[in-house]
Amino acid sequence: MKKYSFVKMNGAGNDFIVFNKDEVTGLQFSSSLIKKLCDRRFGIGADGVITVAKSEAHDFEMEYFNADGTTGTLCGNGARCAIQFAENFSISKGKSVKFLSNGVQFSGKVLDDGLIRFNLNNPDSLKENFVVKVSGKEINTNFINTGSPHVVFFLDDPTLKEFNLGGQFVSIEDFPVYSFGKEVRYLNDFAPVGTNVNFLEIRDSIIYIRTYERGVEDETLACGTGAVASAIITFLQKQIPPPIVLQTRGGDKLLVDFSVEGALIKNVSLTGPAKINFSGEVTL
């Protein structure tokens, strides 16, 4: 049995167990261990696990694991937490950083107002205004990959209102995110890897977002790459220009900025809080 130190962090309510990988040598982050750590009843509890390690070529290297033990996907809120972690524990060399996340290079910055800006790579695989079948009904949606795959539904879409004939929801607060999101996540349209599922409601000029996350297999209080995907789709569908602020389920706001050059979306960034909840030790 050995004790390993960790820090529990959250980015807009999206929570993570963060390890300094250089200080937990010998610890193997297997799928079974990740599931155990993230279990909210028998473990520490989190949406995912992050490791941060020093790097010769970059400020640090980050690994991200979903709560179900899978990896290889980008996590925007997790990246902001990793940037804050590296700053707090003197792993990074300054407030502006370059780092690897699952082998891909990114950059970011610790801002003076306590927020973290994470710069994403250009999105791809955009597909607008196509139909998926949910519970036997055809619903309009949009798809984009912002480092992770995302579909975006607008609650004011007529086909979604048609879906609501049974009176399942009045606003985004009572929308059935789990059941609807879970069905869409596994549709053949997005096989074999599946997709994350975002729901948006624009009310009183505020964009509210809720997200069912693949890999967590549940709704999370915020999703960074989902916020980015939703902001870009909102610009394309609703002509709301960047920067775009989204109100998350957890209560915090995320700001998404980008530039538009012809048909290209470039210079994408995600800004929001990244906070330490507590630190502790886990015995394994």
* Cβ pair 230, 260 in contact under 8 A: no
Q: Do domains 3-120+274-283 and 124-272 have the same CATH topology?
A: yes
Q: Under CATH, domain 124-272 is a member of which superfamily?
A: Diaminopimelate Epimerase; Chain A, domain 1 (3.10.310.10)
What pLDDT, on a 0 to 100 scale, did the predictor assign at position 166? 67
Residues in the chain: 284
Is residue 223 flagged as an active site residue? yes
Report the CATH fold assignment for 3-120+274-283: Diaminopimelate Epimerase; Chain A, domain 1 (3.10.310)
Helical H runs in the chain?
A: 31-38, 76-88, 158-163, 177-185, 224-238
* Cβ pair 282, 37 in contact under 8 A: yes
Identified catalytic residue from 24, 46, 50, 75: 75
Determine the Cα angle at 192 with ends 188 and 193, to 5°.
Answer: 115
| Residue ranges covered by each domain of the chain | 3-120+274-283, 124-272
Identified catalytic residue from 52, 223, 228, 231: 223
Q: What is the pLDDT along the chain (284 residues), one digit of tens a residue?
A: 899 999 999 999 999 999 999 999 889 999 999 999 999 999 999 999 999 999 999 999 999 999 999 998 899 999 999 999 999 999 999 999 999 998 899 999 999 888 999 999 999 999 999 999 999 999 999 999 999 999 999 999 999 887 776 677 889 999 999 999 999 999 999 999 999 999 999 999 899 999 999 999 999 999 999 999 999 999 999 999 999 999 999 999 999 999 999 989 999 999 999 999 999 999 99
Residue 253 burial by Cβ neighbours in a 10 Å radius (0-12, 13-18, 19+)? middle
Is residue 38 flagged as an active site residue? no
